[in-house]
């Protein structure tokens, strides 16, 4: 095999010929054409062998038992690394899979290579962020809702499950922004569980990240008129579904995802790593008035606080809370939502608060604005604080049906 005929190794015959040529070049003097040819051939052979003759790792159980025999360890000696005597027995019997925390301990204290324990070439163990307790994520509830796969030892595997969710949501840069943003003045219920909130937000992002849209988002396209045009779709019975399609055709995700326990959540405004806007709604109140206000509120956050070079990353909202003593940006989003739904001058001229139970007045203003009467009725109920009136106008149980 002359130097001038060196070519990629594609077949077994090429491989055998290369090995034969290498054997004849083993005594080549340094810095000669023959030595250069030897280097090239050796590289080509290594690539071919990596592709066609991969070295299989020993399975993790074999690696653990080998290290126990090598170091004279008993099952009791593994308890600090695997958690309990019963877990040690189950792992060694092949009845329990290793968790990331177990793998981290075995690698750190027994020196078993991470790539063997993870069964991945050149694998390294991910670092654990400070102040994150993986066991606090509501993985059982997430599995019950069908977000993740059910398994008997699901809490033990919470770290791996959430890390996988983070990857599906767009990666660690996305997730850590969500983790680190303190939202000191945000619209959070005091009883809100931050781990459940993060899990819900990550699932919304994962759904959006894996759902192609018919159009790419053009920055700056969310304007007051853009939102008003969408709100006019509320006149149709299938308005919520049409709104989702309208937003998708402008490169904006609208994701309906029921809330987790202890989140007290109506919706959120988020962004994917590429800047695509994502709006998540829980529809915990299945009413048209609540849907349209929540959607406009989150679009207002997208328009005012998440566009361009703003440093904000996410807004999570319990819209039952008043904005007094809250983040001023929540007040801005509230005011923007009210303005685009019903212009201030139109609202003042209608003087509906003086006759809050007038069905005819509600219908008249809705027809004037070409919007659903639920929007008008919801505004009256909110501003009067009387939620016993106009029940027939707010569209009870009219929203979720549009998304199922």
pLDDT the model gives residue 124: 76
Percent of the chain with pLDDT strictly greater than 90: 62
Share of the chain above pLDDT 70, in %: 91
Q: Using 50, 70 and 90 to split pLDDT, how confident is the model at 179?
A: low
Residue 324, pLDDT score: 54
What residues are paired with 276 via a beta bridge?
A: none
Q: How far is Cα 330 from Cα 301, in angstroms, rounded to an integer?
A: 8
Range with the poorest average pLDDT among 132-141, 169-178, 251-260, 355-364: 169-178
Find the Cα–Cα–Cα–Cα dihedral 346, 348, 349, 351, rounded to 10°. 120
pLDDT attached to residue 1: 44
Give the range among 3-12, 117-126, 182-191, 343-352 with minimum mean pLDDT.
182-191
Residues 193, 150: Cα–Cα separation, whole Å:
22
Q: Are 339 and 225 in contact, with CB atoms under 8 Å apart?
A: no
What pLDDT does 56 receive?
A: 67
Residue 18 pLDDT > 50: yes
- Average pLDDT over every residue of 367-392: 96
- Is-contact 316 186, C-beta < 8 A? yes
How many other CB atoms are found less than 10 A from the CB of residue 119?
Answer: 12
Per-chain mean pLDDT for the chain: 89
CATH code, 60-118: 1.10.260.40
Mean local confidence (pLDDT), 157-176? 87
The pLDDT of 118-129, averaged and rounded, is 75
**231/369 Cα distance (integer angstroms):** 10
Q: State the Cα–Cα distance between residues 398 and 375, nearest whole angstrom.
A: 13
What integer pLDDT is reported at residue 4 of this predicted model?
47
Provide the pLDDT confidence category of residue 188 given band limits of 50, 70 and 90.
low
| Residue 135, pLDDT above cutoff 80 | yes
Q: What is the pTM of this model?
A: 0.78
Q: Give yes or no for residue 184 having a pLDDT over 50.
A: no
What's the whole-number mean pLDDT along residues 11-19?
88
Alpha helices by DSSP H, 9-78? 12-25, 33-52, 60-71
CA distance 271 to 305: 11
What is residue 242's predicted lDDT score, i.e. its pLDDT? 98
Does 327 score more than 60 pLDDT?
Answer: yes
Closest among 171, 135, 169 to 155, alpha carbons compared? 135
Q: Which pLDDT belongs to residue 53? A: 67
Domain boundaries, the chain: 3-52, 60-118, 215-404
Residue pair 45/19 in contact (Cβ under 8 Å)? The answer is yes
pLDDT higher than 80, residue 2: no
Distance CA 319, CA 6 (A): 70
Q: How confident is the model at residue 271 (pLDDT cuts 50, 70, 90)?
A: very high
- Confidence grade of residue 34 (pLDDT, cut at 50, 70, 90): confident
H helices present in 127-214, as ranges = 139-144, 158-169, 172-180, 194-209
* Pairing between β-strand 253-256 and β-strand 277-281 as defined by DSSP bridges: parallel
Q: Give, in order, the Cα–Cα distances in Å from 283 to each of 12, 146, 293, 328, 370.
A: 61, 18, 11, 24, 23
Q: How far is CA 195 from CA 49, 80, 137, 273, in A?
A: 46, 27, 5, 21
Write out the DSSP string of 162-184: HHHHHHHHT-HHHHHHHHH---T
pLDDT exceeds cutoff 80 at 323: no
Q: In whole angstroms, what is the distance from residue 210 CA to residue 213 CA?
A: 10
Torsion-angle region of residue 328: left (phi > 0), alpha (psi -120 to 50) or beta?
Answer: alpha
Please check the confidence at residue 180 and state whether its pLDDT lies above 90: no
Confidence of residue 205 (pLDDT cuts 50, 70, 90): very high
CB-count burial class (<10 Å; 0-12, 13-18, 19+) for 344? exposed
Looking at residue 326, what is its pLDDT? 67
What is the pLDDT averaged over residues 310-333? 80
Residue 337, pLDDT > 90, answer yes
Q: Parallel, antiparallel, or unpaired: how do β-strands 253-256 and 267-271 relate?
A: unpaired
Please, which pLDDT band fits residue 196 given cuts at 50, 70 and 90?
very high
Q: How confident is the model at residue 115 (pLDDT cuts 50, 70, 90)?
A: confident
Task: Say yes or no to pLDDT of 387 above 70.
Answer: yes
Instruction: Give kind and range of the element (H or E) at residue 281.
Output: strand 277-281
């Amino acid at each position: 095999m002359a130097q001038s005929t060196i070519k990629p190794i594609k077949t077994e015959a090429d491989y055998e010929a290369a090995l034969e040529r290498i054997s004849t070049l083993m005594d080549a003097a340094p810095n000669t054409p023959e030595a250069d040819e030897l280097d090239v051939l050796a590289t080509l052979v290594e690539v071919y062998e990596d592709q066609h003759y991969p070295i299989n790792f020993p399975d993790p159980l074999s690696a653990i038992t080998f290290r126990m025999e090598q170091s004279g360890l008993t099952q009791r000696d593994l308890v600090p690394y695997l958690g309990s005597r019963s877990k040690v027995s189950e792992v060694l019997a092949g009845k329990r899979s290793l968790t990331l925390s177990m793998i981290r301990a075995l690698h750190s204290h027994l020196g078993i290579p991470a790539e063997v324990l993870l069964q991945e070439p050149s694998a390294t163990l991910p670092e654990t962020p400070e102040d994150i307790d993986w066991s606090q994520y509501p993985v059982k509830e997430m599995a019950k809702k069908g977000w993740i796969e059910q398994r008997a030892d699901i809490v033990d595997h919470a770290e791996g499950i959430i890390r996988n969710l983070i990857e599906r949501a767009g990666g660690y840069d996305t997730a850590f922004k969500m983790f680190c943003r303190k939202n000191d003045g945000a619209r959070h219920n005091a009883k809100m569980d931050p781990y459940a909130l993060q899990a819900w937000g990550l699932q919304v992002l994962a759904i959006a990240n894996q759902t192609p849209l018919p159009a790419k988002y053009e920055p700056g396209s969310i304007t007051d008129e853009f939102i008003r045009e969408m709100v006019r779709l509320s006149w149709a019975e299938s308005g919520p579904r049409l709104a989702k399609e309208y937003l998708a055709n402008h490169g904006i995700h609208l994701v309906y995802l029921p809330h987790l326990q202890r989140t007290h959540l109506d919706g959120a405004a988020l962004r994917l790593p590429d800047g695509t806007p994502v709006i998540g709604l829980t529809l915990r109140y299945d009413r048209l008035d609540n849907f349209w206000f929540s959607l406009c509120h989150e679009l207002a956050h997208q328009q005012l606080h998440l566009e361009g070079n703003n440093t904000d990353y996410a807004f999570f909202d319990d819209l039952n809370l008043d904005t007094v003593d809250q983040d001023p940006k929540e007040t801005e989003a509230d005011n923007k939502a009210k303005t685009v739904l019903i212009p201030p001058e139109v609202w003042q001229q209608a003087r509906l608060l003086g006759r809050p139970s007038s069905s005819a007045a509600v219908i008249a203003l809705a027809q004037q604005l070409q919007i659903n009467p639920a929007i008008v009725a919801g505004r009256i109920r909110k501003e009067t604080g009387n939620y016993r009136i106009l029940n027939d106008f707010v569209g009870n149980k009219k929203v979720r049906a549009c998304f199922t």
